[in-house]
Amino acid sequence: MKTDKLYNDPELAQFYDLENEWSPACAFLLKLADDARSVLDIGCGTGLLAARIAMDGTKRVVGADPAQPMLDIAKQREGGDQVTWVLSDAATLDLNEKFDLIVLSGHAFQVFLTAEEQLALLKTIERHLEEGGQFIFDSRNPKIKEWQEWNPQESGRTIEHPEFGAISSWNDYSFAPQAMIVEYGTYYEVIADGRVYSSKSRIAFPAQEQIAALVAQTKLHVNHWFGDWQGNPYHEDAVEIIPFGSLKAEL
């Protein structure tokens, strides 16, 4: 799995929280964690969700991410001292521990570009899930073709950086339809002096049927397919593909 500069370069990681604030997904997952004694947040990024879950002090929370600059930010946020942070790729993570709840949010599933990588990730979830525990992750529905909005005109926005001031940001993309992989660029221009920070990233857009076929190769079982973070069922025109499930019962 190729390292993504967007998350592994500290100069780019500093912009992450400016564009990724508390969301309906975070609220849904925080509530889901209420009854869990232990939570594993795979691909935790800068730790916004993991730290919030840990702040009540009643559960063990582990956040795992392959990008050290993201974890450096996570450790400094409120509640970060109550989380165990692990530097690891999700596909090879092996903590020799099981959890009541495993989450993979922020469309982190899509950074795994091949069926082999995606299955390895699902095996990681299977390996770390407690009997009777639950897992949940999200992926964008390829039928919506959200990437078509990732052009400089539609994606242009202005964000405020605490040190640099106003930042002009935008994206561009290219699409490989046979592989269902999108390469997109992310750009941040400091308006005051014209400095530009940029990266190129690649993500996959597997269909719901493909994800279901991969899950079927594991001991995981999807109890519900959600189509959004309000808990509505998945359908063809849903924005999200959100499998929510557990381990299959032993025979």
Predicted local confidence at residue 248, as pLDDT: 77
**CA-based Rg of the chain, rounded to a whole angstrom?**
18
Q: Write the CB contacts of 14 (distance below 8 Å, at least 6 apart in sequence).
A: 73, 161
- Taking a C-beta distance cutoff of 8 angstroms, is the pair 233, 36 a contact? no
**Which of 22, 20, 25 lies closest to 244, judged by CA?**
25
d(CA 179, CA 82): 40
Q: What is the pLDDT of residue 71?
A: 97
Give the whole-angstrom CA distance, residue 133 versus residue 119: 19
What distances in angstroms separate CA 228 from CA 235, 236, 241, one per listed residue? 10, 12, 7
- Tell me the pLDDT tens digit for each residue of 12-45: 999 999 999 999 999 999 999 999 999 999 999 9
Rounded to 10°, the helix 115-128/208-215 angle is: 50
Q: Which residues contact 155 (CB under 8 A, 6 or more apart)?
A: 149, 169, 170, 171, 172
Rounded (10°) CA dihedral 110, 115, 119, 121: -30
pLDDT in tens, the chain (251 residues): 566 677 788 889 999 999 999 999 999 999 999 999 999 999 999 999 999 999 989 999 999 999 999 999 999 999 999 999 999 999 899 999 999 999 999 999 999 999 999 999 999 999 999 999 999 999 999 999 999 999 999 999 999 999 999 999 999 999 999 999 999 999 999 999 999 999 999 999 999 999 999 999 999 999 999 999 999 999 999 999 999 999 976 64
pLDDT for res 5: 74
Residue 249: the pLDDT is: 67
Q: What is the pLDDT of residues 197-216, one digit of tens each?
A: 999 999 999 999 999 999 99
pLDDT for the residue numbered 251: 47
pLDDT at position 9? 87
pLDDT of residue 55: 96
**One-letter amino acid for residue 66 of the chain:** P
The span from the CA of 15 to the CA of 231, in Å, is 30
Q: Where are the alpha helices (DSSP H) in the chain?
A: 5-8, 10-13, 16-19, 24-32, 48-54, 68-76, 115-128, 152-155, 208-215
Q: Which residue has the tokens 């959004």?
A: 228
**Structure confidence at residue 1 (pLDDT):** 55
| Sign of the Cα pseudo-torsion (40, 44, 50, 51, in order) | positive
Global pTM reads 0.95
DSSP assignment of 93-155 equals: ---S--EEEEEE-TTGGGG--SHHHHHHHHHHHHHHEEEEEEEEE-EE-GGG-GGGG-SHHHH
User: What pLDDT, on a 0 to 100 scale, did the predictor assign at position 8?
Assistant: 80
